[in-house]
Chains A and B, each alone.
Chain A
Amino acid sequence: MVDEREPASGDPHRRGRRTAEELLPADELVQLLDADGVRHEHPRYTAEVGDDALRELYRWMNVVRAVDRESIHLQRQGQLGVYASGLGQEAAQVGSASALADADWVFPSYRELGVGMVRGVDPVRLLHLNRGTWLADHDPHEHGFAPPSIPIGTQALHAVGFALGALFDGAPIVAVTYLGDGATSEGDTHEALTFAGVMGAPVVFFVQNNQYAISVPVEEQTAAPTLAHKGVGYGIPAVRVDGNDVLGTYAVTREAVDRARAGEGPTLIEAVTYRREAHTTSDDADRYRPREEVEAAEARDPILRMARYLRANDLLDDAAEREVQDAAARLAGEVRARLYDAPHGDPRELFSHVYVDPTGHFEEQAALLERELGERGQAPR
């Protein structure tokens, strides 16, 4: 008979229970860097990063923004079918992704270009999803970055399952799933938080509250005081952080990931930010929000405040700034060139990856396609 009193880390059903007081998120946002670039201390969350790492966070945010902007241009020029911009969310994505270890895994939605890039995924490979070359192109195992999940909230469950796998295996691996504010209404998110809480899975739910689910504002998404308050219902500690503060998002994610790795279970993070572009390039945001609101969000820009901070601390000068911008522009240019020159998908691949063992499934239909390709003058392989 199995001993039911195994320690929490060894039992899929965590026995320890936190009190409501322990779980309630603080009223105040965690903010280590305000909109003016002034650094603040926090008793619990400290971004212990050296000067090089500070510059690296800054560089990444600029690079991500340049590729994001380029992607919008590429869509306007017909090179991408549709693109979901993360403009304004660079601190949320770069800060959190920088807090992960190489062996950790990310379970993203479709707006996580910045997270993917920090994980080392070639942005061109991510953009093939938008170009329509392939449904996804990168190797998830190489970067610990799952294929972006388009059905909202569904990837949270994969993160929980993956984290349980690591827990059962005794591996120091954490899964992080990225969700939007809209995703917190989905049933799968609810089930994922429930499972993670009960089983003590080493998983971090990183919610980028960018204020809108396409056109519906977060106020109409939930009656909860904040999205972080939802954690109480699942027995999961939650924290709200200024999502435009790259040091804050780094610090709270780092703390959550460290605790998960130490066997202390899941965390829910609400990163309060703002989606400055439309939902996607197919959306018209002027139909549901005033321009002034977007302009107000620009004043809270994550890159601007980091630049102010770095300059005030002699970590950035004009020459270094030029270098960052040049490098970002160069990469964006490369992305553009490589997407223009990228191959088209091979129709024969339609049958290649559906099953490990496709025996009995496609013989006739693959032969039909081959005949059709022959008639179009595309020589058989």
Chain B
Amino acid sequence: MTVTLAQALNSALHDAMTDDDRVLVLGEDVGRLGGVFRITDGLRDTFGVRRCFDTPLAESGIIGTAIGLAMYGFRPVPELQFDGFSYPAFEQIVSHLAKLRNRSRGTLRLPVTIRIPYGGGIGAVEHHSESPETYWVHTAGLKVVTPATPQDGYSLLREAIASDDPVVFLEPKRRYWSRGEAELPARTEPMHRAVVRRPGRDVSVLCYGPMLATALEAAEAAEARGWSLEVVDLRSLSPLDTDTITASVRRTGRAVVVHEAPRTLGMGAEVAARIQEAAFYHLEAPVLRVTGFDTPYPAAMLEEYWLPDVDRLLDAVERSLTY
């Protein structure tokens, strides 16, 4: 059957709450409304106001409260409504959620999964299209994952909720309504494993979240030009599956990293650094980055000029092949 990413995520929440009555959903508009993207649709009716509840409009409050609930013994799944509104919760995430276990010498567990719709491409107003993943990846104590397909949406969210460590779960909002074949409940590869989505010989394209569809489209177009792209979906941004990444680059000898987030100190910088550390002699060309610009996310009418697309990606592929 075909399901959307949004439906898969909703099913994952539903099933996680059914299987474990310590799982709680909280956030702005997650109750009555079912979330502004309807990811929590029906959970309040099914599980009641104690298991899925609306909070006052305060993101630091949502995460700080989730931390306390986790310290009590619950398994909270807070939603931060948009990427750009995760920043008010920055201190609670960075100073406490990520650090309390280490601070307490391993006596506290913080099984909190923070769901954040992220990325652009939906024609939104400012603050609704950001890619903040580097902030979380740079923070020791967090795990960061992002699904690109409905199957992975289900499977990764179930694994994230079952994890005893805090997980930042980034949902590519422009792919919420993309359909994919999925039998739910789906179990895909383990949470922190990268996956080769399309095997190829000439260039490794390393991507995640919203950019997987772009990379697969580019690979299709590249085929017509006689270029064989291998598309690797990172899935887990922290920890990074360096082995799968470098194995691919050893096969192809070339690597292009693609993400929406701005270039400087984005995931591409880390991936490129790891590739040259682990596979230097296999490289036929420098590792290239295809990213958003180092400017603030633009107004909606300009986002198509800002976001990486098939053309920008193929341009980098060509530069790599002709280096």
Distance to closest chain B CB from A292 (angstroms):
38
Listed stretches B41-49, B213-221, B305-313, B314-322; interface member: B41-49
Whether A168 sits at the interface, judged by CB under 8 Å, is yes
Whether A353 sits at the interface, judged by CB under 8 Å, is yes
In B136-191, which residues have CB < 8 Å from any A CB? Answer: 140-141, 143, 163-165
Mark interface residues in B25-66 (1 if CB within 8 Å of A CB, else 0).
000000000000000000011001110011110101101111
Choice from A134, A157, A163, A355 contacting B101 with Cβ under 8 Å = A355
Whether B282 sits at the interface, judged by CB under 8 Å, is no
Query: Once the chains are docked, how many angstroms separate the CA of A151 from the CA of B93?
Result: 12
Given contacts A147-B104, A361-B239, contact A154 B64 (CB under 8 A): yes
Query: Once the chains are docked, how many angstroms separate the CA of A13 from the CA of B88?
Result: 23
Taking CB atoms, residues of chain A closer than 8 Å to B264 are none
Whether B71 sits at the interface, judged by CB under 8 Å, is yes
Whether A50 sits at the interface, judged by CB under 8 Å, is no
Taking CB atoms, residues of chain A closer than 8 Å to B102 are 135, 353-354
Chain B residue at minimal CB-CB distance from A165: B72
Given contacts A161-B64, A163-B68, A357-B163, contact A140 B192 (CB under 8 A): no
Whether B225 sits at the interface, judged by CB under 8 Å, is no
Contact A157 B67 (CB under 8 A): yes
Distance to closest chain B CB from A113 (angstroms):
17
Chain B residue at minimal CB-CB distance from A187: B60
Query: Once the chains are docked, how many angstroms separate the CA of A357 from the CA of B165?
Result: 7
Taking CB atoms, residues of chain B closer than 8 Å to A354 are 101-102, 140-141
Interface size class of B (residues with CB under 8 A): 35 or more
Choice from B74, B92, B239 contacting A168 with Cβ under 8 Å = B74
Taking CB atoms, residues of chain B closer than 8 Å to A361 are 238-239
Contact B108 A140 (CB under 8 A): yes
- A residues contacting the other copy or chain, number (CB 8 A): 53
Distance to closest chain A CB from B47 (angstroms):
9
Choice from B54, B65, B101 contacting A161 with Cβ under 8 Å = B65
Choice from B100, B103, B192 contacting A359 with Cβ under 8 Å = B192
Whether A137 sits at the interface, judged by CB under 8 Å, is yes
Choice from A1, A6, A13, A157 contacting B61 with Cβ under 8 Å = A157
Query: Once the chains are docked, how many angstroms separate the CA of A154 from the CA of B98?
Result: 14
Chain B residue at minimal CB-CB distance from A357: B165
Query: Once the chains are docked, how many angstroms separate the CA of A2 from the CA of B45?
Result: 6
Query: Once the chains are docked, how many angstroms separate the CA of A157 from the CA of B60?
Result: 8
Mark interface residues in A146-171 (1 if CB within 8 Å of B CB, else 0).
11010100101111111111101100
Contact A191 B105 (CB under 8 A): no
In B66-113, which residues have CB < 8 Å from any A CB? Answer: 66-74, 76, 88, 91-92, 95-96, 99-109
Choice from B71, B141, B192 contacting A146 with Cβ under 8 Å = B71
Residues of B within 8 A of A (CB): 24, 44-45, 48-50, 53-56, 58, 60-61, 63-74, 76, 88, 91-92, 95-96, 99-109, 140-141, 143, 163-165, 192, 236, 238-241
